A and B are shown apart, each in its own frame.
Chain A
């Protein structure tokens, strides 16, 4: 399934030699929401076209390397034993006022404009 999903997308992208958008504007809008970004209509138009080319590029990992991608096996996540972890010791940290020195108008609270009436 892993190997084929990208290929399916690639195959879907070119039908009868005509390049078909692999990604829709709706999908881009959904992604933008996840990424906490917004785009104007004009930006969305341009971005969708660019993004389509970028996805097609990312899809090239589904081209097989010599002998096919099935050669690539999951090497498994590295397992870290509890003995390898450092002891949980409290050490001095930076002072709060220094860490918060970039917050505009900080007085013990983060202040933002009122948004609920």
Chain B
């Protein structure tokens, strides 16, 4: 099993290894493997080494935070002062933010060492990371397959041990689905638990930043470090989680009520279904109470998600006009022409599709039939989740209906690709937390993910259930050999 954050922290404190040595080991591994994997799109080795030196100073002084000196990565839509942040879009190429996202500001203060920014679907719109303007990252488990998306690079760097942990963002499954495809752990926190300040907006009422890590404990440690209210994000919530969640993982699940909603299992690949059912039996054998429940509005979750997310995206992406930052077209005849050409040349096809759908559902004559109605159904989905969590502590479901797609898979239309988000989008619509944990492999050796969903601000229970499963099932997927070798 690979070394976790807590063990690395002990080794750093015992001077068995310095933060600079640790960082150099990761830099070496990235230089060797990233050209093939394409998981990082911007490398920040110079600043990483400086940060590592500072981390060593902090460690020497004593009382350094747990994440001090630990090398990590950020998704390319999280703003980093002075370091290129592009959302993997041509329209933002060369853009250097002039402020830090709150999550990065917090981690930096704790001595985190940023190795680079990770590949993703353009503006986080996609399920394979193939819409990136830098080309797709490859799945380290099998490089003929995609990493999933949109936080594909963030999942790949953790999987290949090219970072100890990473942050991603999840609007409709973008942390959990790539975590599932790459066999790592991914946590989408409650909406409002983590500040979105400095996260480049896609669907603002759905977006949430969260960790991808090699174990449930590591994910809990990172969540502990980034959560909290922020006056610069009015949707962040001042919720008191009590003590550190990473320190309360060890809980007997006897009596824990686990809900199983049949709607999450419709149309799921049989191999995945049987692995999740085995996991449910494992919970049951250990004293959990299984409740079979139903969430009828779930079948409307996908169109509701795409309507709301695209409506918000069409508004959020209105700011890319080529005037204040990013790409600008080279020849034009008027200001209007400049804006239209800049956007048409700068955005990729998937982004254009979603802007167009968003514009359509918000346009006069269609607003009531689509956007308003989607918002009403969203309330219904919320009520159903609230009712379910009256009698269940968590829900267990697959993370995705399938394992990783082959690269350049042409067999699916845009809508068929949207359908693959069926298990993850309801969680964002309801704003509840969910984790994806590795749950075995399919016959082809590709990882399968199990999703554990909790009530709003119920991260503690979600993490406890996930930790219990991880401990019980053992490392269900063999640790990836390679990377920094630490």
Residues of A within 8 A of B (CB): 1-2, 5-6, 28, 31-32, 34-39, 47, 50-51, 53-63, 65-66, 69, 71-75, 94, 98-104, 110, 112-113, 115-116
Inter-chain contact A103/B325, CB cutoff 8 Å = yes
Known: A1-B368, A72-B377, A72-B380. A115 touches B356 (CB 8 A): no
Q: Would you list which residues of chain B between 365 and 389 have a CB under 8 Å from chain A? A: 366, 368-370, 372-374, 376-377, 379-380
Inter-chain contact B328/A104, CB cutoff 8 Å = yes
Contact of B369 among A31, A34, A62, A101 (CB under 8 A): A62
Inter-chain contact A66/B296, CB cutoff 8 Å = yes
Give every chain B residue within 8 A of A47 (Cβ-Cβ).
352-353, 356
Minimum distance in angstroms from A4 CB to a CB of chain B: 9
Inter-chain contact B414/A61, CB cutoff 8 Å = no
B332-374 to A contact mask, C-beta < 8 Å, 1/0: 1111111111011001000011011101110100101110111
Inter-chain contact B359/A58, CB cutoff 8 Å = no
Inter-chain contact B341/A38, CB cutoff 8 Å = yes
Q: Does B404 contact A (CB under 8 A)?
A: no
B43-55 to A contact mask, C-beta < 8 Å, 1/0: 0000000000000
B378-408 to A contact mask, C-beta < 8 Å, 1/0: 0110000000000000000000000000000
Give every chain A residue within 8 A of B300 (Cβ-Cβ).
60-61, 63, 65
CA distance A60 to B307 in the complex (A): 11
Minimum distance in angstroms from B163 CB to a CB of chain A: 27
Q: Does B95 contact A (CB under 8 A)?
A: yes
CA distance A41 to B359 in the complex (A): 20
Give every chain A residue within 8 A of B352 (Cβ-Cβ).
37, 47
Beyond A53-B414, A65-B380, 18 additional contacts (C-beta under 8 Å) are A35-B356, A36-B318, A37-B344, A39-B344, A50-B353, A51-B353, A51-B356, A53-B413, A54-B357, A58-B361, A59-B303, A61-B370, A65-B377, A98-B98, A99-B98, A102-B96, A103-B325, A112-B335
Q: Would you list which residues of chain B between 290 and 331 have a CB under 8 Å from chain A? A: 296-297, 299-300, 302-304, 306-307, 314, 318, 321, 323-326, 328, 331
Q: Does B99 contact A (CB under 8 A)?
A: yes
Inter-chain contact B356/A37, CB cutoff 8 Å = yes
Q: Does B480 contact A (CB under 8 A)?
A: no
Known: A37-B352, A54-B353. A102 touches B326 (CB 8 A): yes
- The chain A residue with its CB closest to the CB of B325 is A102
Most B Cβ at <10 Å: residue of A38, A56, A72, A98: A72
Known: A54-B415, A57-B303, A72-B380. A35 touches B297 (CB 8 A): no
Give every chain A residue within 8 A of B331 (Cβ-Cβ).
113
Minimum distance in angstroms from B192 CB to a CB of chain A: 14
Inter-chain contact B361/A38, CB cutoff 8 Å = no
Inter-chain contact A61/B303, CB cutoff 8 Å = yes
Give every chain B residue within 8 A of A62 (Cβ-Cβ).
369, 373
What are some 24 contacts across the A-B interface (CB < 8 A)? A1-B368, A2-B368, A35-B356, A36-B321, A36-B343, A47-B356, A51-B353, A57-B306, A57-B418, A58-B306, A61-B303, A62-B369, A65-B297, A72-B376, A74-B376, A94-B98, A101-B96, A102-B98, A103-B323, A103-B324, A110-B324, A113-B331, A113-B338, A115-B332
- The chain B residue with its CB closest to the CB of A77 is B375
Give every chain A residue within 8 A of B95 (Cβ-Cβ).
102
Inter-chain contact B340/A101, CB cutoff 8 Å = no
CA distance A74 to B376 in the complex (A): 6
Q: Would you list which residues of chain B between 419 and 449 have a CB under 8 Å from chain A? A: none
Give every chain B residue within 8 A of A65 (Cβ-Cβ).
296-297, 299-300, 377, 380
CA distance A99 to B357 in the complex (A): 31
CA distance A111 to B340 in the complex (A): 17
Known: A5-B369, A28-B356, A65-B380. A36 touches B340 (CB 8 A): yes
Give every chain A residue within 8 A of B360 (Cβ-Cβ).
31, 55
Inter-chain contact A115/B335, CB cutoff 8 Å = yes
Known: A54-B415, A94-B98, A101-B96. A31 touches B373 (CB 8 A): no
Known: A1-B368, A58-B303, A61-B303. A37 touches B347 (CB 8 A): yes
Contact of A38 among B96, B304, B340, B372 (CB under 8 A): B340
Known: A5-B368, A75-B379, A98-B98. A57 touches B415 (CB 8 A): yes
Give every chain B residue within 8 A of A75 (Cβ-Cβ).
376, 379
CA distance A81 to B356 in the complex (A): 35
Minimum distance in angstroms from B217 CB to a CB of chain A: 37
Inter-chain contact B356/A61, CB cutoff 8 Å = no
Known: A2-B369, A2-B372, A115-B332. A36 touches B418 (CB 8 A): no
Most B Cβ at <10 Å: residue of A2, A61, A71: A61
Inter-chain contact A58/B357, CB cutoff 8 Å = yes
- The chain B residue with its CB closest to the CB of A30 is B363
CA distance A72 to B379 in the complex (A): 9
CA distance A56 to B366 in the complex (A): 13
